[in-house]
Structure 1
Amino acid sequence: MRIRRSRALAGVLLAAAVAVSGCSGSADDSGGSTADLAADAPAAGQAAQEDAKQGAGGGSAEGAKATAAPKATANHIIRTASLTVRVEDVPQALGEARTATETAGGYIGDESTARDATGHERTRVVLRVPVEKYDEVLTELEGTGKLLQRDAKARDVTDQVVDVESRITSQRASVARIRELMDRATRLSDVVTLEGELSTRQADLESLLAQQASLKDRTGLATITLTLSETPVRKAVKDDGDPGFTDALAGGWDAFVTMLRWLAVVIGAVLPFAAVAALLVLLWLKAVRPRLPQRPERAPATTAPGPLPAHRPAAEGVDGNGKG
């Protein structure tokens, strides 16, 4: 009995010593050391109380549970999924997805809609649903059309949640200790130093609280990224047998329209070059050619002399000597 009382008394003295050392070194030590002292003091006090209760014989199972550190009873899991579904009517399928999400207690996040060259819509929407309704909503979304792709992930962050909660508890105790030291400080230099330390520790506490809120949001609500693509509507073609006159006329008209379309494309492609060529020719005729030196005109060529007259024959009855 004396040994147990001695252990209880030693535990109380140890807790008091740790508390006194935390008060004396808070103004000069860093934020981490003060937080550790503040966290160790309650633990030592709890151990001393448990020893005292066991020594006195008044301890109970309920008291031991009350003084024990809290433990995580449930796993914290971040669930995400990505679905790609082909539907015939995107707006109608999107309305069904909205209804399923709101019925489950969730909400619609980011949403983007695009339309391709053929006029078919494609919508991407982010849905946030409670984790309890995650599987139910996922199954309902898959049934809106033809499932093309599904990718589901689950990440356990229980250790991270417990670590953040523990750091928040220690940081709050540290902030409270700095406030107590500020109330006891008498010198202005100590007050200024403690105010700077308090501001730093409060900023760290707010950062931890933000991390805790983010983890709570991601573990409490699952994220589903839904992509809806529209199926092209194909009309059934009736088989009437051999083509008739109207079919040939329709085919010829389509070919004629296609030819005109291609001619228009060719003319449109050649027209800029033809316009530039015509402009260059006009510029040559109107501006450049008149300024060029003109060549002198050639004199008309003289006519060549005609052939000499042929030798006349001697007159009849006259010979070459002039005799008759």
Structure 2
Amino acid sequence: MRIPRSPRSAPSVLAAVLLTASLALAGCGGGGDVGGGSAKSDAGAHGRRADVSGASGPAAEKGKTAPGTSPDAIVRTASLTVETRDVPKALARARTRAEAAGGYVGQEDTSRDADGHERTRVVLRVPSGRYDEVLTALQGTGRLVDRTAKAVDVTDQVVDVGSRIASQRAGVDRIRALMGRAAKLGDVVTLEGELSRRQADLEALLARQASLKDRTELATITLTLSETPVKEAAGDGTPGFVDALAGGWHVFAATLRWIALALGAALPFAAFAALSALLWLRVVRPRLPRRPRPAPAAPVTALGPLPSARPVPGSAGEADRD
């Protein structure tokens, strides 16, 4: 005697099988993503023909590079230090050159040192295809003091991230398909947790892919512009006759400048003193009452005043007295 099966037994069994399969796929998905991604990375790195965007398509399936995408992903960075007499003018030329090449100014900082020399640091982002051209043009804005350039090949990283993105997207699609066929609430909750984890991993991979794309498509050039300092003597740095002459001239000019400043500061006081003296001599002094001159006193000696002169005997004065 056969026991009749309930019509709901088959769907329940099917749901349980699907849930078990989904969990098995979820457990193997992380390793599968890494393994599959590594395998695809190796294959893509060997051929250098993986799609940088990571999207599936005819170009990726056939192992060919998508139109407009470089087979090699290289991050180019450079740092330049240039001395120039006119920093604003040189900065305007550098900005114009970067914009003409299709780039832009990422960051700009301007400052002055204790001597008043202007210093500007600007970060330029230019297309990698115009990198050498812009770098050569920026070197001509003044006297090149220092240059550092670096190129890093990140093709393997780009290929690996693209492969992992494709695997994660496929895993997300599988989980969503299982959620559409799940009948129990517990199964739905389990699948939703797995879906959230996979979507978070996918978003992290997409952010990394966008960063790699930005760094490979746009090169970074850090340009430092500073005003030209005092010219140094050629050779071993020992000052010579010309340097001594220039230093003496600067000291002499500075001394004259300070003397002129001192005279200019004292000029109002000197003018006031001269005007006061002129008024005293021309106006005030002539109007003052004059004191009478005293009679000349008899000469005094150490023995006392000299006696008055006596008439000589026989003189006319003695005859008159008689």
Q: TM-score range by the shorter chain?
A: 0.5 to 0.7
Query: Is structure 2 residue 26 aligned with structure 1 residue 26?
Result: no
Q: Which amino acid letter does the alignment assign opposite residue 156 of structure 1?
A: D
Query: Is structure 2 residue 133 aligned with structure 1 residue 136?
Result: yes
Match of 2:96 among 95, 99, 116: 99
Q: Which residue of 1 aligns with 2:219?
A: 222
Q: Which amino acid letter does the alignment assign opposite residue 167 of structure 1?
A: R
Q: Which amino acid letter does the alignment assign opposite residue 146 of structure 2?
A: Q
TM-score (norm 1): 0.56
- The alpha carbon displacement at 1:253 in A equals 3.8
Deviation string, structure 1 residues 48-102 (Cα, Å, up to 9, x no partner): xxxxxxxxxxxxxxxx999645569710000000000000011100000000000
Q: Contact (CA 8 Å) 2:59, 2:65: kept in 1 or not?
A: no
Partners in 2 of 1:111 and 1:226 — Cα distance?
A: 10
Partners in 1 of 2:181 and 2:108 — Cα distance?
A: 56
- The alpha carbon displacement at 1:27 in A equals 2.8
Q: Contact (CA 8 Å) 1:27, 1:190: kept in 2 or not?
A: no
Q: Which residue of 2 aligns with 1:125?
A: 122
Q: Which amino acid letter does the alignment assign opposite residue 29 of structure 2?
A: S
Q: Contact (CA 8 Å) 1:80, 1:223: kept in 2 or not?
A: yes
Q: Which amino acid letter does the alignment assign opposite residue 22 of structure 2?
A: S
Partners in 2 of 1:166 and 1:221 — Cα distance?
A: 23
Matches within 5 A, 1:1-324: 24-30=20-26, 32-33=28-29, 36=32, 68-69=62-63, 74-232=71-229, 250=256, 253=259
Q: Contact (CA 8 Å) 1:35, 1:174: kept in 2 or not?
A: no
Q: Contact (CA 8 Å) 2:65, 2:71: kept in 1 or not?
A: no
Partners in 2 of 1:165 and 1:90 — Cα distance?
A: 44
TM-score (norm 2): 0.56
RMSD, matched Cα: 3.8
Partners in 1 of 2:72 and 2:60 — Cα distance?
A: 22
Partners in 2 of 1:71 and 1:36 — Cα distance?
A: 25
Q: Which has the larger displacement, 224-233 or 165-174? A: 224-233
Deviation string, structure 1 residues 98-142 (Cα, Å, up to 9, x no partner): 000000000001111110111110000100000011000000000
Deviation string, structure 1 residues 161-193 (Cα, Å, up to 9, x no partner): 000000000000000000000000000000001
Q: Which residue of 1 aligns with 2:310?
A: none
Q: Any unmatched runs of 5+ in structure 1?
A: 1-20, 44-63, 258-324
Q: Which amino acid letter does the alignment assign opposite residue 220 of structure 2?
A: T
Q: Contact (CA 8 Å) 1:26, 1:178: kept in 2 or not?
A: yes
The total of aligned residue pairs comes to 206
Q: 1:81 to 1:65 in 2, by over 3 A?
A: closer
Q: Contact (CA 8 Å) 1:178, 1:194: kept in 2 or not?
A: yes
Q: Secondary structure at the match of 1:27?
A: helix
Deviation string, structure 1 residues 249-300 (Cα, Å, up to 9, x no partner): 949948x99xxxxxxxxxxxxxxxxxxxxxxxxxxxxxxxxxxxxxxxxxxx
Q: Any unmatched runs of 5+ in structure 2?
A: 1-16, 40-57, 232-241, 264-322
